[in-house]
Structure 1
Amino acid sequence: MARKKLASCCFKLLLLTSLITWSTVLSLDSSPGKHSEELSIGGIVDLTTHIGKEERAAMQVAIEDVFSDVDPLLVKDSRGEPTRAVSSAKNLIKKNPCSSNCRLKNMARDFLRRRARGQFAQMKAVADIINSWKWRKVNVIYEDINSAVSGIVPYLISALQDAGAEISELLPLTHTLSDCSLSESLRNLKNGQCRVQIVHASAPLATKIFRNAKRIGMMEKEFVWITTVDTMNLIDTFDTSIISSMQGVLGVKSYYSNSTEMFQHFHFKFNSKFRELYPREPFYEPCVYALQAYDAMRAVSLALKDGVNSSKSFRNSTTNSLMLSITGEKIVSRISESNFQGLAGAFNFQKGILSPESLFRIINVVGRSYREIGYWTEKLGFSESTGAASKYSKSMSRLGQVSWPGHPWSVPRGWAVPTSAEQFTIGVPASNPHREFVDIVYDQFGRAICVKGFSIDVFKATLKFLPYDLPHNFVPFNGTYDSLVEQVKLQNFDAVVADTAIVAERFQSGDFSQPYADPGLQMLITARTKNINRAWVFTKPFSTSLWISIGVINIYNGLVVWLIERNYEQDRNAEIRRGSLLNQIGYMLYSAFKTLFSLNVDNLSSNLSRFVMVVWLFLALVLTQSFTASLSAIFSDQWNDLATIDVDTLRSTGAKIGCDRGSFVVAYLRDVLNIHHDNIVKINSGDDYAAYLVSGKIAAAYLEVPYLNVFLAKYCRGFTTSGPIYKVGGFGFVFQRSSPYLPDISEAVVKTPPMNITDYKFLASRDSLGFPL
């Protein structure tokens, strides 16, 4: 009977660590003289590393946990070379070739491409750390291997974009890079503005990076270092010299529970197996990769065991060749259907992909080791514990104090003034009808030398509240505001700083910050004064009937006092009784009117007359105060016309209405307020509105509220507003779509103390200093 070999499948779990590629090759030997269930399992690991040796021991433990009578693991050493690992796998498969090997190898190749454990979750954890401290730029230092470029780094870029951050520099490195070249590359990062470094590299390369970074002064205050699981999963194997060069580093570390009964069982058997295989090797606690190797080998062993059991009866009814093909497919299918709680977490497949890790430790290197400051869970965020009662937050600031490089307790800004950095290009209007907001100063040769104005000053004040520096330069642009904003869409400018109205059409070209000036559109008209006869203006406070009533009451009061006082014989009142009747009446009227301005009750003899005078004096006080207030109001109100002008009147009469040339207000008047285009007068300068209104060239003008405030502050009399304020516009800064700076700028605008344009010094002096271009 010819010897047959049933090749079942190949399983390769890509563990994204430095120079480690391992896989398992399984074979079922049914040749004559051997038991039909005798198995031999092969594995390929990098035995030049301590991790590879741990993986070998862990896989052997997994095989023994499933099979009680199995040959030891057939190990091939890849020596850290992926091509050697592939060659070793082929040699194991071709050990006893058969008719179905070609089909099985094709099936295995497709299977392996889809069985790498997803790594996007840890990239999101790193991005959430970045977002917790509002850092908007990061440098990424990664190991330049195919798996990193095609798998991990794109995920990190995507996660950072979701968090509102962008990559300033990408630095690919190889493990063969010399210290001199590595230091030079790091110095280039040090000379830039960004101080946040993300390291995604194998442990050997990462330790090399940190040693050189410390030597050139990049582990000091204001620097931030964040590492992925590739480094932190092996931090327990680092010696004290490496730990000392990593002080203040934050890292993401795989999570597993070491308190379960399954782990305790594995731990005991692993210790024995590792010491048996490598008695002279220093012993550490099993790393997460050893746990993952155990889980993977357990899944393969369980699938193989089920396949062997189910194929016994099938051999009696078909050929060995056909049985070989079907059994291989079934084993691959059973591996895909694996669903158990492994040592390193849940082991199952989602849509053909090995389920990713969703829970990580957040650690901080401090002192001689590290401390665990919390956890990160996908879709939930950060927490201080992993229990059911855990409280989650999107920010890791709730996890407690972090020790940063250089041992500062304050959170680093994440940036510094660079020795060399690309300037942020900001467009400004070369010509502005309202120069109080943006004004470009030219020299005698027509060259722009500086830019100034209210909008520029607000932007400068806003930059002070950013958590980083933003080197920039202003570039004048000739054209309309719409075409200026469109330059952002065309990426000719990074931003636009001007009195740019926030209107819907412009959102097609860029995104706006929070408004820094009040929104609104209102009518400006000439204030028509009332025709007041100044000779008789004193009669206006009271009506004619009231004046007559006051005169009658005053005469009546004087008559009563005179009748009472004339009966007394005192010398001081003799004058009342002497003289003709006409003289006595004149004296009576004089005394009555005199009480309006002075209190002469001491000259009266009778208490009854004093009582009458007190009542009259109280009434006189009320009358004089009312008269004074009414007269003041008349003089103050003479500049205002009580008859208001509304848009309906302007529209029905065909009156001319002015607005800024090139402004969105032109379309608003035409399309929203239904003003005929022939009645819209486009004005070139804000200073021209006064002349147009006074001369009658326009009956009214529509200006945005900030412009109105400036105009009314300059022309205190003769003009006023009329009608409602239409809630449109508002001034904002324009940035490119999805710009990482926009959220910070908007937040800074809110924090910036209000600046009142009507109090702005630019109104008083056109010679104020500007900012150089």
Structure 2
Amino acid sequence: MTGFLVFLYSILLLSITFILSNSGQLNDEDTEFISIIGAVVDCSTRVGREEKIAMDIAVQDIYRLTGHNLALHVLDLPENSARAAFAAIDLIQNQKLEAIVGSITWHQAALVAEMVNITIKRPIISLTTGLSLIVPDKELPVISMYQDISVQIECIASIIASFKWPKVIAIYEDRYSYSSDLGIITLLSASLQDSGVQLEHYLAFPTLSSLLDPNTTIQNELNKLKGKQNRVFILLQSSLTLASLLFENAKKMGMMRRGYVWIASASFTGLLDSVNSSMITSMQGVLGCKACYLDTTASFKDFEVKFERKFRAEYPEDRNSQPSIFALRAYDAIWTVAKSSKMLHEKNYSKTLLQHILSSDFEGLSGRIHFTNYKLTYGPNFQIVNIVGKSYRELGFWSPEFGFTDNLVKNNSGKDRSQSGEEVLNPVYWPGGKTSVPTGLSESNLLEDRGKQLRIAVPAISMFKQFVRVSHDEIPNITYITGFSVGVFEAAVKCLRYALMYEIVPFHGSYDDMVMKVSQKAFDAAVGDIVITASRDQPIEFSQPYVESGLAMLVAMKSDKSHHHWWFLKVYTKEMWFLMAAMTVFTGFAIWVVEHETERGFNGSSITQIGSILWYSFSILTSAQGESFKSPWSRFLSVPWFFLVLIVTSS
């Protein structure tokens, strides 16, 4: 009995050993397909929290749908911190990462690639804005997942050009590096210049973490902007926290009232669905462009439900849990690495993971995922939004191919791209409650608010009546002021974006006195044939001259008669001379046919008869020859000819 128990125990021990051995082999096989990915996010920001949640959901979806295991190592570090680069280096060396995804700047990525063996080519997928402006270096395995910011800049420039604001001021947060931020400013300035708009000034705020008193700093900078005449501001690049403080202080300082214009870029408007109502209250009338994505697909709906549930569970202090475009890009970035890693392990060992990522081509939640020169190939389409009430209104769309349109789905192939946003977009609710387009200039707004009329002086007695003519009708007691200069002024007023109220007043005095009255503020401007001289140019400013001024001399022109011998032939055209000669010869020949048998002058040799025909052809131009005709047919032929000759000679 004891021997039998020993035998059973031995069999059981061998079975357990065999099972454990096979289990170890399976685990070894599964381990071969586990992709280890590092994620660098800043969970102190809304964007960082969304990216972390989206990456976690992507890892779960990939395993559920494909069976591919991903190990995600998340580093919660400030976005522009040097610690992020060193932490990424530690992950690559100790955790054997295949790739890194997250808020990695270009300088951080370059540091990582330099510190780690660059020949390994560990792909780094960056979700930041600044990287899309850097010229790609093929020696560095850095890929930008952020869509080309130049397209967004073009959209903003198109909005400004549509409403014909001459100057703008750009505001941005210096979050990445001096060179990349200046690259955005340079890109904006060039795009605005193409539309005839001037970038008058730009204001760079440091990151809020570097400021001891952010509110005081923001108020001081806004005070400087408030002193400028320009009232059109572009929030080009900003964190949600800085934007919140900026608009809150702008409202307190009266910079969200009528006459101001605020335009926000997609880096901020992409988070509008997640901002609270108190922040929305201080942003009434702000115009912005928001990256478009399909939110009606089944895959997006599934992701949205998971995201909201997980976000509320991990961050209950955030009231809004809707995903933004930043979450979608992070989700697509993990899928890009997973697809490429699976292809590397299962199909093609000749390519590196970086090469597989760069050859990606699939439809993600944020749009088409395809890379060219280490950047996304396809530029985004933008939705133009207007913050009103507790949320925002959708005004229309803008795309690089079609410009402004009211519908991206319908066929726009025949659409005129020259249409402006004002023509296509829905009416805009501007700051202060106005629906008419603001002027963007402080002086004009003051004139509109006060209801003041400009007093425009014109010379009552002009030297040249064609430029200014002042006449008075006593019966209806109306003064009429007309002329070329007045017409030019009225045409210029019609080109303004606002209704300019003015009164044209005749000035009885010299031109110098009228200029002096303008400099003394008795008149706001003067219109007329006013010559620009050194003395007049000192106290006032002149517009560009619309006619040339100067002295001209009139002299009698000496007649050159050397070529005038044939002037008498210019009475008629060449065609008329040939026609008259032909008709004369033809009439003479017809009369010769009738008269040559009875008239002696038509007898003789052929030369004599030809001479007689030519003689009669020209002599019948007078009525003298008409009396010598013998045949009534000759007289009949002569009547219409004499009538025609009479008409020709009288003309």
Residues 96-148 of structure 1: per-residue CA shift (max 9 Å, x gap): 67999341258767231665431111111111111221212111112223275
> Does 2:432 match 1:406?
yes
**Aligned with residue 173 of structure 1, among 189, 202, 205:** 205
Instruction: Work out the CA distance in 2 between the residues paired with 1:164 and 1:395.
Output: 14
Taking structure 1 as the reference length, what is the TM-score of the superposition?
Answer: 0.50
- Change in 2 beyond 3 A, CA 1:106/1:63: closer
- Change in 2 beyond 3 A, CA 1:414/1:279: closer
- Change in 2 beyond 3 A, CA 1:472/1:290: farther
Query: Residues 46 and 77 of structure 1 are in contact (CA less than 8 Å); yes or no, is this contact kept in structure 2?
Result: yes
The answer for the alignment partner of 1:74 in structure 2 is 73
- Change in 2 beyond 3 A, CA 1:58/1:128: same
Residues 227-236 or 107-116, more deviating: 107-116
Counterparts of 1:9-48 in structure 2, within 5 Å, are: 35-48=31-44
How big is the shift at 1:466?
4.3
Instruction: Work out the CA distance in 2 between the residues paired with 1:59 and 1:385.
Output: 32
The answer for the alignment partner of 1:156 in structure 2 is 188
Q: Aligned AA for 2:335?
A: R
Residues 190-235 of structure 1: per-residue CA shift (max 9 Å, x gap): 2222221111122221222111111111111111111111111111
The answer for the alignment partner of 2:477 in structure 1 is none
Residues 388-397 or 193-202, more deviating: 388-397
Q: Aligned AA for 1:166?
A: Q
Unaligned 5+ runs, structure 1: 1-29, 315-325, 421-433, 439-453, 479-492, 502-683, 701-773
The answer for the alignment partner of 1:141 in structure 2 is 171
Instruction: Work out the CA distance in 2 between the residues paired with 1:101 and 1:64.
Output: 31
- Change in 2 beyond 3 A, CA 1:280/1:187: closer
What is the DSSP-based 3-state SS (H/G/I as helix, E as strand, rest coil) of the residue aligned with 1:124?
A: helix
Query: Residues 121 and 356 of structure 1 are in contact (CA less than 8 Å); yes or no, is this contact kept in structure 2?
Result: no
The answer for the alignment partner of 2:359 in structure 1 is 337
Residues 333-342 or 411-420, more deviating: 411-420
Q: Aligned AA for 1:47?
A: C
What is the DSSP-based 3-state SS (H/G/I as helix, E as strand, rest coil) of the residue aligned with 2:50?
A: helix
What is the DSSP-based 3-state SS (H/G/I as helix, E as strand, rest coil) of the residue aligned with 1:47?
A: coil
Instruction: Work out the CA distance in 2 between the residues paired with 1:363 and 1:282.
Output: 22
How big is the shift at 1:298?
0.5
What is the DSSP-based 3-state SS (H/G/I as helix, E as strand, rest coil) of the residue aligned with 1:464?
A: helix
Instruction: Work out the CA distance in 1 between the residues paired with 2:123 and 2:235.
Output: 36
Instruction: Work out the CA distance in 1 between the residues paired with 2:318 and 2:247.
Output: 26
**Aligned with residue 206 of structure 1, among 243, 247, 266:** 243
Q: Aligned AA for 2:215?
A: D
Taking structure 2 as the reference length, what is the TM-score of the superposition?
Answer: 0.58
CA RMSD across the alignment: 4.0
How big is the shift at 1:90?
0.8
Instruction: Work out the CA distance in 2 between the residues paired with 1:475 and 1:239.
Output: 60
Q: Aligned AA for 1:467?
A: L
How big is the shift at 1:351?
4.1
Instruction: Work out the CA distance in 2 between the residues paired with 1:252 and 1:357.
Output: 14
Residues 184-193 or 231-240, more deviating: 184-193
Query: Residues 345 and 357 of structure 1 are in contact (CA less than 8 Å); yes or no, is this contact kept in structure 2?
Result: no
Determine what percentage of the aligned residue pairs are the same residue.
31
Residues 188-197 or 163-172, more deviating: 188-197
Q: Aligned AA for 1:185?
A: E
**Aligned with residue 254 of structure 1, among 278, 291, 310:** 291
**Aligned with residue 685 of structure 1, among 541, 551, 562:** 551
The answer for the alignment partner of 1:240 in structure 2 is 277
Query: Residues 375 and 383 of structure 1 are in contact (CA less than 8 Å); yes or no, is this contact kept in structure 2?
Result: yes
Instruction: Work out the CA distance in 2 between the residues paired with 1:310 and 1:467.
Output: 65
Residues 569-616 of structure 1: per-residue CA shift (max 9 Å, x gap): xxxxxxxxxxxxxxxxxxxxxxxxxxxxxxxxxxxxxxxxxxxxxxxx
- Change in 2 beyond 3 A, CA 1:411/1:468: closer
Q: Aligned AA for 1:331?
A: L
How big is the shift at 1:45?
0.7
Instruction: Work out the CA distance in 2 between the residues paired with 1:280 and 1:499.
Output: 68
What is the DSSP-based 3-state SS (H/G/I as helix, E as strand, rest coil) of the residue aligned with 1:258?
A: coil
> Does 2:130 match 1:130?
no
Residues 384-393 or 122-131, more deviating: 384-393
What is the DSSP-based 3-state SS (H/G/I as helix, E as strand, rest coil) of the residue aligned with 2:75?
A: strand
The answer for the alignment partner of 1:603 in structure 2 is none
Instruction: Work out the CA distance in 2 between the residues paired with 1:218 and 1:461.
Output: 32
Query: Residues 459 and 497 of structure 1 are in contact (CA less than 8 Å); yes or no, is this contact kept in structure 2?
Result: no
Q: Aligned AA for 2:433?
A: H
Instruction: Work out the CA distance in 2 between the residues paired with 1:35 and 1:114.
Output: 29
Q: Aligned AA for 1:497?
A: P
Count residues with an aligned counterpart: 428
The answer for the alignment partner of 1:194 in structure 2 is 230
What is the DSSP-based 3-state SS (H/G/I as helix, E as strand, rest coil) of the residue aligned with 2:164?
A: coil
Query: Residues 383 and 392 of structure 1 are in contact (CA less than 8 Å); yes or no, is this contact kept in structure 2?
Result: no
The answer for the alignment partner of 1:659 in structure 2 is none
Instruction: Work out the CA distance in 1 between the residues paired with 2:366 and 2:59.
Output: 17
- Change in 2 beyond 3 A, CA 1:286/1:494: farther
- Change in 2 beyond 3 A, CA 1:279/1:251: closer
- Change in 2 beyond 3 A, CA 1:180/1:699: farther
What is the DSSP-based 3-state SS (H/G/I as helix, E as strand, rest coil) of the residue aligned with 2:245?
A: helix
**Aligned with residue 290 of structure 1, among 327, 333, 346:** 327
Instruction: Work out the CA distance in 1 between the residues paired with 2:230 and 2:116.
Output: 57
Query: Residues 40 and 74 of structure 1 are in contact (CA less than 8 Å); yes or no, is this contact kept in structure 2?
Result: yes
Query: Residues 286 and 386 of structure 2 are in contact (CA less than 8 Å); yes or no, is this contact kept in structure 1?
Result: yes
Instruction: Work out the CA distance in 2 between the residues paired with 1:159 and 1:61.
Output: 39
Q: Aligned AA for 2:547?
A: D
Query: Residues 191 and 419 of structure 1 are in contact (CA less than 8 Å); yes or no, is this contact kept in structure 2?
Result: no
How big is the shift at 1:409?
1.7
Unaligned 5+ runs, structure 2: 1-25, 98-114, 125-138, 447-462, 468-482, 501-523, 535-540, 561-651
How big is the shift at 1:418?
8.1
Q: Aligned AA for 1:138?
A: V
How big is the shift at 1:41?
2.0
- Change in 2 beyond 3 A, CA 1:436/1:333: farther
Instruction: Work out the CA distance in 2 between the residues paired with 1:215 and 1:100.
Output: 50
How big is the shift at 1:498?
5.2
What is the DSSP-based 3-state SS (H/G/I as helix, E as strand, rest coil) of the residue aligned with 1:204?
A: helix
Counterparts of 1:671-750 in structure 2, within 5 Å, are: 685-686=551-552, 688-689=553-554, 692-693=555-556
What is the DSSP-based 3-state SS (H/G/I as helix, E as strand, rest coil) of the residue aligned with 1:199?
A: strand
What is the DSSP-based 3-state SS (H/G/I as helix, E as strand, rest coil) of the residue aligned with 1:302?
A: helix
Counterparts of 1:481-560 in structure 2, within 5 Å, are: 496-497=544-545, 499-500=547-548
How big is the shift at 1:276?
5.4
The answer for the alignment partner of 2:420 in structure 1 is 395
The answer for the alignment partner of 1:89 in structure 2 is 88
Instruction: Work out the CA distance in 1 between the residues paired with 2:144 and 2:46.
Output: 27
How big is the shift at 1:263?
0.8
Instruction: Work out the CA distance in 2 between the residues paired with 1:267 and 1:334.
Output: 28
What is the DSSP-based 3-state SS (H/G/I as helix, E as strand, rest coil) of the residue aligned with 1:94?
A: helix
Residues 250-304 of structure 1: per-residue CA shift (max 9 Å, x gap): 1111111111011122223334444555566545111111011001111111101
- Change in 2 beyond 3 A, CA 1:150/1:304: farther
Counterparts of 1:569-608 in structure 2, within 5 Å, are: none
How big is the shift at 1:360?
1.0
How big is the shift at 1:33?
10
Instruction: Work out the CA distance in 1 between the residues paired with 2:375 and 2:36.
Output: 27
Instruction: Work out the CA distance in 2 between the residues paired with 1:472 and 1:142.
Output: 38
Instruction: Work out the CA distance in 2 between the residues paired with 1:211 and 1:114.
Output: 33
How big is the shift at 1:363?
0.8
What is the DSSP-based 3-state SS (H/G/I as helix, E as strand, rest coil) of the residue aligned with 2:328?
A: helix
**Aligned with residue 112 of structure 1, among 142, 150, 169:** 142
Instruction: Work out the CA distance in 1 between the residues paired with 2:286 and 2:167.
Output: 18
The answer for the alignment partner of 1:417 in structure 2 is 443
What is the DSSP-based 3-state SS (H/G/I as helix, E as strand, rest coil) of the residue aligned with 2:141?
A: helix
- Change in 2 beyond 3 A, CA 1:239/1:275: closer
- Change in 2 beyond 3 A, CA 1:40/1:282: farther
Query: Residues 456 and 497 of structure 1 are in contact (CA less than 8 Å); yes or no, is this contact kept in structure 2?
Result: no
> Does 2:402 match 1:380?
yes
What is the DSSP-based 3-state SS (H/G/I as helix, E as strand, rest coil) of the residue aligned with 1:110?
A: coil
Query: Residues 416 and 468 of structure 1 are in contact (CA less than 8 Å); yes or no, is this contact kept in structure 2?
Result: no
